């Protein structure tokens, strides 16, 4: 080795310092990004984790055989039975106002809970059964420590008396928190303790299915034709510029298009996943086309030349050799586009999917809403208990997103071929 290579010149030190500096900056950038992500995910999980638990209160209900007709058990007044059980638990409550306060400890769902219990276990009729009821959102928030007791002894909407009753229930072990399965198994509700995400989740799945069914085949065929078959001229340039522009158009514009074309001209049903999926499909189309063209371009020309060289036609070359190699990239593009569609609310606003929908949609023509819309609606509700529901719905949305990305990774690995 000559001296030139071993001696450290000031020039070399400066260049090394430059590299070090860049590495430090890079590390700092990553740290900041991860920090933000952790703060976001951390606060959301911290606020939302409560929603996966539910407060329940036990009552001994006497199922009076004179009140319940065994032939038609659904006709009985279960609400009255629940109230009676509450009164007998706290027999010192006499005043009308106090009774009302007492009833407010339980969710309005209590009568239905009892009705279902009786329908499932008819042998309970005539007995006194201990049944767990869902507590009202105010009690739920208090038990979870989300409301604080103020100077006058009240906590949020609960007053002193109600807090005493809760303490009494606690001391006898008649109050508990359990996994909140109804959050996953029921639709939206105006009562925070009953609200669930099933209708919004189903709506999202149906909407994305329509979106995929529309945008994936169209996008891929358009990309293949543009990349492999069209001659390069002014027209193809114009189309390319337009597609790139379309990918950057704000999503609300697609919503307006959906409103005027799909709803007003074609008369398709408002608020339906079909229209939602079509609008989002149009929105993702440019993304898919651009990603797919990039994937096709990345296939080495030698593959095409070899196929053509042994006598394959143009279409055989494309569909037997080029497209399969580009497939992982195309799928990734499609899933990135769908992930963007998953988080959209603006276009859905215009076509009536920002709505209160309790029933779980059974088809793409029935009214539905989507997960981000549900988050938006809950975030805007006055009841404090919706705060944790909002965060919980965000968690579900993020998990859904991770799941979609996971599928993209798996598909990519499955179809990847090395040269």
Partner 1 sequence: MYKKILIAGALLSTTILGTGSNAALARDQIRIVGSSTVFPFATTVAERFGKNTPFKTPVVESTGSGGGLKLFCSGAGDNAPDITNASRRIKLSEVKKCAANGITDIVEVKLGYDGIVLANSKKAKAMELTLKDVFLALAKNVPDGEGKTTANPYKTWKDVNPTLPDLKIEVMGPPPTSGTRDAFVELAMEGGCKSFKWVKALKKKDKKTYKALCHTIREDGAFIEAGENDNLIVQKLNANPSAFGIFGFSFLDQNADTIQGSKINGVAPDFDQISDGSYPVSRSLYFYVKKSRIGKTDGIQEYLAEFANDKAWGPEGYLADKGLIPMSDKERKNWAEKVKNLQNLSM
Nearer to partner 1, 158 or 169 (CB): 158
Nearer to partner 1, 73 or 156 (CB): 156
Nearer to partner 1, 19 or 380 (CB): 380
Q: Minimum distance from CB of 12 to partner 1 (Å)?
A: 53
Nearer to partner 1, 134 or 354 (CB): 354
Q: Minimum distance from CB of 217 to partner 1 (Å)?
A: 6
Q: Minimum distance from CB of 168 to partner 1 (Å)?
A: 21
Exposure letters 286-305 (e unless 16+ CB within 10 A, then b): bbbbbbbbbbbeebeeeebe
| Structural contact between residues 253 and 345, judged by C-beta atoms closer than 8 angstroms | no
DSSP readout, 132-180? EEEBPHHHHHHHTT-S-B-TTS-BTTB-HHHHHHHHHHHHTT-EEEEE-
Nearer to partner 1, 300 or 362 (CB): 362
Size (the chain), residues: 419
Q: Minimum distance from CB of 242 to partner 1 (Å)?
A: 26
Q: Minimum distance from CB of 11 to partner 1 (Å)?
A: 54
Give the Cα separation of 347 and 223 in Å (integer).
Answer: 25
Nearer to partner 1, 156 or 343 (CB): 156
DSSP-derived 3-state class of residue 329: helix
Residues 6+ apart with CB under 8 A from 208: 277, 280, 338, 341, 342
Nearer to partner 1, 159 or 237 (CB): 159
Q: Minimum distance from CB of 277 to partner 1 (Å)?
A: 9
Find tokens 């767990």 and name the residue: 132
Q: Give the interface with partner 1 as residue ranges (CB under 8 A).
A: 100, 104, 108, 112, 147-148, 150, 154-157, 189-191, 206, 209-210, 212-213, 216-217, 263, 267, 269-271, 274, 319-320, 323-324, 327, 352, 354-359, 362-367, 377, 379-384, 387
Nearer to partner 1, 26 or 217 (CB): 217
DSSP-derived 3-state class of residue 320: helix
Q: Minimum distance from CB of 85 to partner 1 (Å)?
A: 20
- The DSSP output letter for 123 is G
**Residue 12 is encoded by which pair of tokens?**
């070399």
Exposure letters 249-284 (e unless 16+ CB within 10 A, then b): eebeebbebbbeebbeeeebbebbbbbbbbbbbbbb
Residue 60's DSSP bridge partners are 130
Q: Minimum distance from CB of 94 to partner 1 (Å)?
A: 18
**Angle subtended at Cα 145 by Cα 141 and Cα 148, rounded to the nearest 5 degrees:** 90
């Amino acid at each position: 080795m000559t001296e030139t290579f071993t001696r450290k010149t000031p020039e070399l030190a400066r260049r090394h310092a430059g590299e070090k500096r860049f590495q430090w900056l890079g590390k700092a950038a990553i740290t900041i990004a991860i920090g933000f992500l952790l703060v976001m995910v951390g606060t959301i999980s911290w606020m939302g984790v409560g929603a996966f638990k539910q407060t329940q209160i036990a009552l001994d209900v006497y199922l009076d055989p004179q009140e319940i007709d065994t032939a038609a058990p659904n006709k009985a007044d279960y609400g009255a039975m629940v109230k009676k059980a509450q009164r007998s638990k706290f027999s010192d409550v006499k005043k009308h106002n106090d009774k009302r306060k007492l009833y407010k400890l339980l969710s309005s769902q209590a009568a239905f809970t009892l009705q279902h219990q009786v329908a499932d276990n008819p042998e309970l009729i005539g007995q006194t059964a201990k049944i767990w009821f869902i507590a009202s959102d105010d009690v739920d928030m208090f038990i979870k420590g989300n409301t604080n007791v103020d100077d006058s002894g009240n906590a949020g909407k609960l007053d002193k008396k109600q807090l005493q009753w809760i303490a009494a229930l606690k001391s006898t072990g008649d109050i508990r928190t359990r996994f909140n399965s109804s959050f996953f198994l029921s639709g939206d509700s105006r009562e925070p303790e009953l609200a669930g995400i099933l209708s919004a989740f189903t709506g999202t799945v149906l909407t994305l299915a329509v979106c995929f069914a529309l945008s994936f085949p169209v996008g891929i065929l358009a990309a293949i034709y543009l990349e492999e078959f069209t001659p390069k001229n002014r027209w193809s340039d114009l189309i390319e510029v337009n597609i790139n522009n379309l990918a950057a158009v704000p999503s609300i514009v697609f919503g307006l298009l959906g409103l005027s074309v799909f709803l007003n001209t074609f008369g398709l049903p408002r608020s339906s996943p079909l229209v939602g999926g079509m609008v989002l499909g149009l929105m993702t189309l440019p993304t898919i086309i651009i990603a797919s063209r990039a994937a096709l371009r990345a296939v080495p020309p030698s593959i095409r030349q070899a196929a053509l060289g042994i006598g394959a036609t143009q279409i055989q070359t494309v569909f037997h050799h080029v497209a399969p190699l580009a497939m992982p990239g195309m799928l990734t593009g499609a899933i990135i586009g769908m992930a963007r569609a998953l988080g959209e609310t603006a276009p859905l606003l215009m076509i009536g999917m920002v709505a209160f929908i309790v029933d779980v949609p059974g088809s793409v023509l029935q009214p539905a809403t989507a997960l981000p819309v549900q988050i938006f609606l809950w975030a805007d509700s006055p009841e404090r208990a919706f705060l944790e529901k909002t965060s919980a719905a965000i968690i579900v949305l993020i998990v859904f997103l991770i799941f979609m990305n996971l599928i993209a990774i798996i598909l990519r690995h499955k179809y990847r071929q090395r040269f």
